[in-house]
Structure 1
Amino acid sequence: MAQRITIDPITRIEGHLRVDVEVDGGQITKAWSSGQMYRGLENILKGRDPRDAWLFTQRICGVCTTVHALASVRAVENALGLEIPLNAQLVRNMVQAIHCLHDHIVHFYALSALDWVDVVSALDADPVATAKLADSLSDWHGNSPKRFAAVKDKVKALVASGQLGPFANAYWGHSAMKLPPEANLMAVSHYLEALDYQRKATQALGIIGGKNPHIQNLSVGGVTTNLNPENQTAVTMERLYYIKQLITEVRDFVKMVYVTDVVAVGALYKDWLPYGAGVTNYLAAPDMFLDARGTKADLPGGTIFGGDLGSVKPIVGLADPYFKENVEESIARAWYDGDWSKHPWESTTDPKFTDFEDEGRYSWLKAPRFQGKPMQVGPLAQMVVGYAQGHELTVKSVNAVLGRISAVAGVKVGPEILHSTIGRHAARAVRAGMMADLALKHWDLLINNISSGDYEIFNPPTFPKGEQRGVGVHEAPRGILSHWIVIQDGKIKNYQCVVPSTWNAGPRDAEGQLGPYEASLMGNPIADPERPLEVLRTIHSFDPCIACAVHMLDPEGREVMKVKAL
């Protein structure tokens, strides 16, 4: 007999997500993904100046701040046909890359590693043996017996105090935890180091963005980052070189620690490689643009259907009609007024709540579709799309990680293992390494362009009478993000955000097609229905950001809800 499990809320994510599953015979047979907050920001933007939208939209989330700012200014620029200076493009690229480094490190260590790492088990580890294991994987300077012994003592003190702090409320001792004590101790040590390296990324972003979170250096038409080396109020060469130093330090951590830890998890949990594929239609945006017009990119975009790499079709540039014309949102199973599937320029966001209905409406998330199909987005989508196109950096980076997993696991694995829960983690680690390399590349491009005497950072926008429509597309850490704007006589007439976590976490549509979260859970094992760790593993692998997907704001400042920390 099937057993119903409800996890509400899913923790270690941004926002409030409810997941329901039915388990029969130790496997998940049905799944529902439900966003539990209402999005109202689109309605708040109506009638406002389009140049102000980016300041509002980056308040959607306290983590995904820069991404909404970038997508928003691009949407207005696309509507106006406005080209930004090359310096502005390169500064934006650095903002994007540094933000990604911070975000990917936070995701693995703070938000998902504890699904695989048994912290309490680390108490049984031998620090010398742990150092030997770590040295076999990389020559990171923090991998010493002295360091691991100190971390073991710290964990021991936490356990003895009964106050586990960030390690509390996890499924320690769960039968699905497979790492040996030494691997757990190594991972806990790296978890603590990750806190410092994500800080370094945040510091670099604060310098170039003027503030973090919620950067302040964007504007429709470019950036406000003064790059004149002769002006002491500008971002001086000294500051730019400090940014480079911070990026370099973070890159070393990503390549020598983060990627290595993901390789270890993937290899030691090789029994999990068949699980979590779900939707194998992939959608990714091109980004890290090399020209002012946004037509040449260092990161490829495109689509793949049915997991067939031969079906890849590129998305080229910021204004590619292949993307613009094929996106729709369905509200057939969402708590909104109507029963339609519409292009975002025609969409509305009018709430109409009912109870949670298994066969009816059960989520505040809309269900985006591309050519009528659900699409998985995120680092895995971009890695698969790039790999299929033969993108040199992607192919080199993916093959390197697959080779390392094969060596540790003792079993040769190929790109097919990427269609999985573990594959999403591997793809994100690969992308983090690529973004670190690209951050430094675009730093060099910016310095070279400034050195040529080009200090231009802004082209002023003008708003003609009549209607203009635009879309701002950005490959955010969690996947393709698009902001859709309709401008009428210089004011916002309609504004819709189609975000990564609506693509992935959205509900069924009118045809009954499951969203990627829901599909990825089907067939997954459940060892203990009272402690459904396996559900968390797969959901966390997407890096959910439900604050981006749905959010609630009371413009009168009244209390909406109370949250008590126990």
Structure 2
Amino acid sequence: MTSNPESTDGVVEMAWDPITRIVGSLGIYAKVDFNNNRVVDCYSTSSVFRGYSIFMKGKDPRDAHFITSRICGICGDNHATCSVYAQNMAYGVRPPHLAEWIINLGESAEYMFDHNIFQENLVGVDYCEKMVRETNPGVLDLAERTEAPHAGDHGYRTIADIMRSLNPLEGEFYREALQVSRSTREMFCLMEGRHVHPSTLYPGGVGTVATVQLFTDYLTRLMRYVEFMKRVVPMHDDLFDFFYEALPGYENVGRRRVLLNCWGSLNDPEHCDFTYRNMADWGRKMFVTPGVIVDGKLLTNDLVTINLGIRILLGSSYYEDWEGQDPFVTEDPLGNPVDMRHPWNQHTIPRPQKRDFDDKYSWVMSPRWFDGTENLALDTGGGPIARLWSTALSGLVDMGYVKSTGHSVLINLPRTALKPEVTFEWKIPERNGELLSNAIERNRARTYFQAYAAAAALHFVEKALAEVRAGRTKTWEPFKVPDEAISCGFTEAVRGVLSHHMVIKGGKIANYHPYPPTPWNASVRDIHGTPGPYEDAVQNTPIFEENPPAAFKGIDIMRAVRSFDPCLPCGVHMYLGNGKSLDRLHSPHAFASGEGG
């Protein structure tokens, strides 16, 4: 949706900049129509250039995971893992089963840690009592009078009690979640040495010394987390369901067309050999199933098809095109043609310039997925909603504690010290007969995926202990670096799809491009004028905040953006000043160049 050039007065330009820690500095620039309580235009910007794809060239490929881990200080282990997967393919090495179970345990702990601290200590603040009191006092008054349907499971009598528990620093649940984040980080460190840049992760396996005591230490912490999740899931269900009832139409906040991507994660070492020729098969055996979902339907769960469909478009980003450059790769290992706009063939040619919303305005490129007809602006939904949706539709996962049914995901959490066995079911979200990819459901899915990760980790612990008890304690296989190779790694970073694409020539890296979830979610208008997911989701957002323009906080806009989990936006600053009233919009791109409004 673009703004109407015939709009009348009441439209105000606003800027939220920076929303920090998003591979640079994320800014959201919007036009809000206060007469009709809706956002009429949005631009997502990133003001920092990173350049990893440039300085990776010429490096020893064995250093790739150590270098790319530093792309992010939050999910660096996801990058290291993905890089190791790409290296395994390039070197033709298959790690021992035990090593893969250890990596899976580390990644599961990372999901639990990161989703917990983001959901409870950052997203939760958007729905806490203090925030709701400031932005929607009428909603808080209703929350005080609304009994929580699952009070017996989580211990909070009313919805307002849940909101108070989320108040930063003071809230009971807020503080408890901080303690939980500590134990989940310890779980990760037990498997991979340190957080967030692993010290025991290598191509060919891991350097972790595997013992019964190691996995027992992990398991004791995991069981406490399992018990914690038995309260968290029903608590968030009560809170999110309440917003639908308290604010009719709230399902449209942050809503966009269902265009989801998941690259799969948590390999099954029984099937994964890291070869490209078998990638479609072992990809479907992942414990989170890859998939591209369009309008609620699964287009493909074939990783080869997924890989070949990736296109890197420019348009509104600060780069020169690389059309006309010689391709690094013309065919994949199966003989399929590789497009010039695929990451294997990408050249990064930065061209810094003044921000202009009519032209170039961000350092983020525009990844798209080509379905044979059009380049789709897929989003990860913050990670979990895409993972659960893809896994549910494929119906391929059945590991005892987790089962996908073709339309939902069943998550079984066994009996713990104080609570009985519980089974949760994540269902494909819909309301009034319409499928939903919106702020509330992205957040809800994050809670359910925390439980999913915990249940999967229980399976991985059992498998790892079986290996150790059988005397199969080897955790690494030797390898040689070839003179030439092309490879790719696919996994899920915490907040969504992650792929690393590598070309080796002369035993050195000739081309290397990592594509984490941020470029997909925060992408800008591409060469065809298609907005990125943040932009699209915010442009479709109605305003429910009760404050007048002079005291406007933009909470609905922030909930829409933060539902994508934009790399821990722990510092959100809004610049409004006195605002700037636009009596008449002369163009759908009425922002002055370089101005924030």
1:374 equivalenced with 2:349 (yes/no):
no
Picking from 423, 428, 453, the partner of 2:441 is 423
1:500 equivalenced with 2:523 (yes/no):
no
Which residue of the partner structure matches residue 117 of structure 2?
106
What SS does structure 1 have at the residue aligned with 2:376?
coil
Which residue of the partner structure matches residue 157 of structure 1?
none
Cα separation, 1, equivalents of 2:99 and 2:79: 17
Cα separation, 2, equivalents of 1:138 and 1:540: 30
Alignment TM-score, normalising by the size of structure 2: 0.76
- Structure 2 CA distance for partners of 1:18 and 1:479, relative to 1, 3 Å: same
Picking from 152, 177, 182, the partner of 2:161 is 182
Q: Is the 8 A contact 2:159 2:242 kept in 1?
A: no
Query: What amino acid sits opposite 1:94 in the alignment?
Result: L
Cα separation, 1, equivalents of 2:71 and 2:206: 21
Q: Is the 8 A contact 1:401 1:426 kept in 2?
A: no
Which residue of the partner structure matches residue 344 of structure 1?
343
Picking from 387, 390, 395, the partner of 1:390 is 395
Q: How far off its partner does 1:20 sit? A: 0.8
1:41 equivalenced with 2:52 (yes/no):
yes
What SS does structure 1 have at the residue aligned with 2:153?
coil
Query: What amino acid sits opposite 1:3 in the alignment?
Result: V
Q: How far off its partner does 1:291 sit? A: 2.0
Picking from 477, 481, 497, the partner of 1:459 is 477
Q: Is the 8 A contact 1:122 1:184 kept in 2?
A: no
> For each residue in 1:353-390, what CA deviation from the matched residue of structure 2 results, as whole angstroms up to 9, or x when unmatched?
12221121111111101112111112111112122223
Picking from 435, 453, 457, the partner of 1:439 is 457
Cα separation, 2, equivalents of 1:546 and 1:208: 24
Which residue of the partner structure matches residue 212 of structure 1?
195
Q: How far off its partner does 1:500 sit? A: 0.4
What SS does structure 2 have at the residue aligned with 1:79?
helix
Cα separation, 2, equivalents of 1:108 and 1:134: 19
Alignment TM-score, normalising by the size of structure 1: 0.80
- Structure 2 CA distance for partners of 1:213 and 1:92, relative to 1, 3 Å: same
Which residue of the partner structure matches residue 282 of structure 1?
260
Q: Is the 8 A contact 1:84 1:292 kept in 2?
A: no
Which residue of the partner structure matches residue 297 of structure 1?
286
- 1:155-234 matches, cutoff 5 A: 181-187=160-166, 188-227=171-210
Picking from 459, 462, 474, the partner of 2:491 is 474
Q: Is the 8 A contact 1:368 1:503 kept in 2?
A: yes
Which residue of the partner structure matches residue 575 of structure 2?
none
Query: What amino acid sits opposite 1:243 in the alignment?
Result: Y
Which residue of the partner structure matches residue 576 of structure 2?
none
Please give the root-mean-square deviation of Cα atoms over the aligned residues, in Å: 3.0
What SS does structure 2 have at the residue aligned with 1:352?
coil
Query: What amino acid sits opposite 1:519 in the alignment?
Result: D
Which residue of the partner structure matches residue 64 of structure 2?
53
Number of residue pairs the alignment of both structures matches: 488
Which residue of the partner structure matches residue 269 of structure 1?
243
- 1:240-251 matches, cutoff 5 A: 240-251=215-226
Query: What amino acid sits opposite 2:521 in the alignment?
Result: N
- Structure 2 CA distance for partners of 1:514 and 1:109, relative to 1, 3 Å: same
> For each residue in 1:229-277, what CA deviation from the matched residue of structure 2 results, as whole angstroms up to 9, or x when unmatched?
xxxxxxx3223201101111112212322x2332122111103223322
- Structure 2 CA distance for partners of 1:98 and 1:138, relative to 1, 3 Å: farther
Unpaired runs of 5+ in structure 2? 1-8, 273-281, 324-339, 398-402, 412-422, 570-597
1:313 equivalenced with 2:300 (yes/no):
yes
Unpaired runs of 5+ in structure 1? 146-178, 228-235, 407-411, 548-566
Query: What amino acid sits opposite 2:91 in the alignment?
Result: L
Cα separation, 2, equivalents of 1:13 and 1:330: 20
Q: How far off its partner does 1:415 sit? A: 8.8
Which stretch of structure 1 is more off in the superposition, 450-459 or 97-106? 450-459
Q: How far off its partner does 1:292 sit? A: 5.0
- 1:403-418 matches, cutoff 5 A: 413=431, 416=434, 418=436
Picking from 228, 239, 259, the partner of 1:253 is 228
Which residue of the partner structure matches residue 537 of structure 1?
559
Q: How far off its partner does 1:338 sit? A: 2.5
Q: Is the 8 A contact 2:125 2:131 kept in 1?
A: no
Q: Is the 8 A contact 1:402 1:413 kept in 2?
A: no
Q: How far off its partner does 1:7 sit? A: 0.9
